[in-house]
Amino acid sequence: MAYIEGRLVHDADSHLMEMVDCLDPYLEHRLRQRYHELPVFRARMERHEHFRMAREKHADAAFRAGADENLMLRKNYEAKGAFIREDRPSVVDLLGVASQLVFTTHALGNFGLDRSDDMELCYAVADAHNQMMVDFCSVDSRLLPTAYVPLETFEGAVATARKAIDIGARGLIMPSWCPRNHAPSHVSLDPLWAMAEEAGVPMLFHVGYEDKMNPVYKENGLPPVPDFHGGDDNFTSISYMPIPNSAMQTLATLIFDGVFDRFRNLKFGAIELGASWLPGWMRSMDSAAHAFMRNEERLQKLSSKPSEIVQRQLRVTPYPHEDVGWVIRNAGEQVCLFSSDYPHVEGGRNPVKRFDSCLEGLPQSAIDCFYADNFIDLMGDALPVELRRPAHLVAAE
């Protein structure tokens, strides 16, 4: 029996839990050596015993025998299909979803290389990550690989995006932090947007590529606060608060500077950044456009109110602990997407139940949009026709 039954659902966020050496096969020797010198790589190497134990667990027959019944209980490296790609197709079956967007875990943030002085390694590691993701997802067409595109140089961004699309990436991740030397809306990035629009591939933001909270906020004279995993490297209540800030700024810049209007068929997704910020942000942009339109020609040229442009082109995944019904009522049916965050702890053990409890009272059209239609719209041509409304899932509704 699948976790989700009797409805059509697409999963806008799932993850690969990579081993520490996951990029090594995709980097030439001289670049691999430089990559291995990065502090973040060395820190993960210190946890080599953790990765060894994960491999041993998944090689144990008794452990594997309990994988299906514990699908929503085992998390991170213990989860089925977390890093063994041959196991992942059955995860899609057991979840009962029509498709899954698949993101990295290990490479979220591109190891800090975007803000380094080594642009050669920055783009080489992004290319290696992208090839790794495509290879992992190659076992099943329902697994939709995402690729990362650093925006630090115009030529590098276009070249990396071109490679990613050519090898089969179904979504292009861009950072929500601002590049160091130009705006994310710079006209020299228009070839990137044009390429993605022509390929029918969405541009995606994902948690991990945003500006982080100033760590001094944690220096409060009180005992340390544990995160979801029991440590202090992941989010706590205070570091959770600024997660969407840089996405809000970057998306507003892209809208006000006309990128969304110049590429009206290009869709954007904000994944695992929450959604409670969405209604107020939309209204703040409308207010800003109204207040400054008299003095800013760019605002006078907008095709619609910013909030309407959002509804046309942006799709966002709420967290399961958020009141998605409230977000939809205040932002519109067109914007929100279901996601499981499988196999991360943050996705919870029963996200559908939590989302459904907040969707009560909404029209069926809004519920259908949340679980499937908005994802189909986001993915466009990147989602194969046969995966959009599979007959066996539609018939079950």
Amino acid 232: pLDDT = 57
Short-list 283, 22, 83, CA closest to 91: 83
**Max intra-chain CA distance, the chain:** 69
Amino acid 396: pLDDT = 74
Amino acid 367: pLDDT = 98
Within 8 A by CB and 6+ apart from 199, the residues are 165, 381, 382
Domains of the chain as residue ranges with CATH: 11-394 (3.20.20.140)
CA 390 vs CA 16, 278, 342, 382: distances in Å: 24, 31, 21, 16
pLDDT per residue, tens digit, the chain (397 aa), is 899 999 999 999 999 999 999 999 999 999 999 999 999 999 988 888 999 999 999 999 999 999 999 999 999 999 999 999 999 999 999 999 999 999 999 999 999 999 999 999 999 999 999 999 999 999 999 999 999 999 999 999 999 999 999 999 999 999 999 999 999 999 999 999 999 999 999 999 999 999 988 989 989 999 888 876 555 566 788 888 999 999 999 999 999 999 999 999 999 999 999 999 999 999 999 999 999 999 999 999 999 999 999 999 999 999 999 999 999 999 999 999 999 999 999 999 999 999 999 999 999 999 999 999 999 999 999 999 999 999 888 877 7
Separation between Cα atoms, residue 209 and residue 197, nearest integer Å: 22
Amino acid 229: pLDDT = 57
Amino acid 239: pLDDT = 87
Instruction: State pTM to two decimals.
Output: 0.95
